[in-house]
């Protein structure tokens, strides 16, 4: 298909593949982050988000099904870079009081990326008349925003103080 023939439907599908890939990568990273966390609260937050992410992947698969398309990811360079930064923090700050603060910050970078993607996908789904898809994407968007708020509260109440 020539670039000039592409439309919002194509962009929606490409972005859906992008976030699907991202969620699968996040599922691989969360157990490692949970194991590396010294804060029980942070570990619990990572574990809770892992369970949520599994549900988010299932919702994305439902959206693919609605489109009659296979659920396939497309390499997302943005999430690869964000997760690589998280791994770097885990390596460079292992055994220090600042490790949890660094991992929490990396997790929030992931959340902010996901929030932007899900917000965009929800808007496009609505524009394209895909109301069921928009509802599923909105459910995930709300979960991501709640996770971000939880991480912010945890950072302010405990993790950043321990790092200082």
Instruction: Give me the DSSP letters along 13-28.
Output: HHHHHHHHHHHHHHHH
Is 96 inside any structural domain?
yes
pLDDT for 164 equals 72
Is 4 inside any structural domain?
no
Is 8 inside any structural domain?
no
Name the DSSP letter for residue 3: G
Is 82 inside any structural domain?
yes
pLDDT for 63 equals 98
Closest CA to 105 of 130, 82, 133, 72: 82
Residue 78 C-beta-side C-alpha neighbours within 13 Å? 16
Please tell me whether the overall predicted TM-score, pTM, comes out greater than 0.75 for this model: yes
How do residues 28-77 score in pLDDT, each as one tens digit?
Answer: 999 999 999 888 898 999 999 999 999 999 999 999 999 999 999 999 99
Q: Which of 15-29, 46-60, 150-164 shows the lowest mean pLDDT across its residues?
A: 150-164
pLDDT for 1 equals 57
| Domains: count for the chain | 1
Is 7 inside any structural domain?
no
pLDDT for 134 equals 98
Is 143 inside any structural domain?
yes
Q: How confident is the model at residue 2 (pLDDT cuts 50, 70, 90)?
A: low
How do residues 98-153 score in pLDDT, each as one tens digit?
Answer: 898 999 999 999 999 999 999 999 999 999 999 999 999 999 999 999 999 998 88
Is 56 inside any structural domain?
yes
pLDDT for 3 equals 66
pLDDT for 25 equals 96
Q: Which residues contact 17 (CB under 8 A, 6 or more apart)?
A: 72, 73, 74
Mean pLDDT of 16-27: 97
Domain containing residue 97: 14-163
pLDDT for 162 equals 72
* Domain CATH number, residue 121: 1.20.1260.10
- Is the confidence at residue 163, as pLDDT, over 80? no
């Amino acid at each position: 298909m020539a670039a000039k023939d592409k439309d919002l439907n194509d962009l929606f599908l490409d972005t859906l593949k992008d976030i699907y890939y991202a969620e699968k990568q996040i599922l691989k990273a969360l157990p490692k982050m949970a194991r590396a966390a010294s804060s029980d609260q942070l570990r619990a937050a990572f574990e809770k988000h892992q369970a949520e992410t599994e549900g988010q992947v299932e919702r994305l698969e439902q959206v693919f099904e609605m489109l009659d398309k296979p659920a396939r990811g497309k390499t997302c360079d943005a999430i690869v870079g964000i997760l690589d930064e998280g791994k770097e923090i885990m390596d460079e700050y292992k055994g220090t009081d600042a490790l949890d603060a660094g991992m929490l910050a990396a997790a929030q970078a992931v959340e902010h990326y996901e929030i932007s993607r899900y917000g965009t996908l929800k808007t496009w789904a609505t524009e394209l008349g895909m109301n069921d898809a928009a509802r599923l994407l909105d459910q995930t968007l709300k979960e991501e925003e709640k996770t971000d708020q939880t991480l912010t509260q945890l950072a302010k109440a405990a993790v950043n103080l321990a790092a200082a």
